[in-house]
Amino acid sequence: MKYWYTLLFASLFSAAVHAEEKPSLLIYQSPQEYTHEARMGMMPYFSRWVLKGPSADAAALEAFAPHFSEIGRCDGGSGADVLMWLRPRINYNPVSSTFYAQVSAQVHLGSGKYLTTLKATAEQPGPIQSIYADALIRKAFDGAMQQIASQYAADAQLQASIAEARAREMTKAPCAIIGAVPNP
């Protein structure tokens, strides 16, 4: 008899966990974020060339992990419940020795339908000539992505739109389509 109760409890628990399953996310960035370096600082004395893409991507993967069941980078042909187009910016103020990260994240359904844009900025003090400048840039992006993740979690209308689309079992378009969708 215990076996049947255990089996019943396990099946009810797994059904409850499946009902509250989180959506999947793919993160898209323009290929230029990975190939074109940005020059920061005060030329020619205090300057550095940096790639924005890898730092912003790593920060996004870490920040959104609690909110999604699966997170990955867009490889062009795969699909997910939610597609997010990240547009990172990084600046440096040599007078105050501060890095400024600005991130804009366009949120789309897996079908390509635009939902909203989340924006955040963060700053990280530190010298640009430091050997740890790349880590400081990553910390600046971490702060901005944490703000975007909290905006995502607090937006009940956005959560409801995603849940409704998942309930309808929408068609998942290739993630690279959001690069071709007209901007709102």
Q: Where are the beta strands (DSSP E) in the chain?
A: 24-29, 38-42, 46-50, 70-73, 82-93, 98-109, 114-125
Phi, psi of 140 (to 5 degrees): -65, -45
Does residue 15 surpass a pLDDT of 90? no
Q: What is the pLDDT of residue 171?
A: 78
Q: What is the pLDDT of residue 22?
A: 80
On whether residue 83 sits in a domain, the answer given is: yes
On whether residue 76 sits in a domain, the answer given is: yes
On whether residue 33 sits in a domain, the answer given is: no
Q: What is the pLDDT of residue 183?
A: 67
On whether residue 6 sits in a domain, the answer given is: no
Q: How many CB atoms lie within 10 A of CB 56?
A: 28
Residue range 145-156, pLDDT digits in tens: 999 999 999 999
The rounded distance, in Å, linking the Cα atoms of 87 and 128 is 22
Residue-range definition of the domain harbouring residue 72: 40-179
On whether residue 12 sits in a domain, the answer given is: no
On whether residue 2 sits in a domain, the answer given is: no
Q: Per mean pLDDT, which range of 3-7, 27-31, 39-43, 79-83 is the poorest?
A: 3-7
DSSP percent split of the chain into helix, strand, coil, nearest 5: 40, 30, 30
On whether residue 184 sits in a domain, the answer given is: no
Does residue 63 surpass a pLDDT of 70? yes
On whether residue 22 sits in a domain, the answer given is: no
Where residue 19 falls (left for φ over 0; alpha for ψ -120 to 50; beta otherwise) is alpha
Higher pLDDT, 131 or 125: 125
Question: How many domains would you assign to the chain?
Answer: 1
pLDDT mean over 72-88? 89
Closest to 141 measured CA to CA, from 118, 122, 161? 122
Does residue 90 surpass a pLDDT of 90? yes
CATH number of the domain bearing residue 135: 3.30.160
Does residue 4 surpass a pLDDT of 70? no
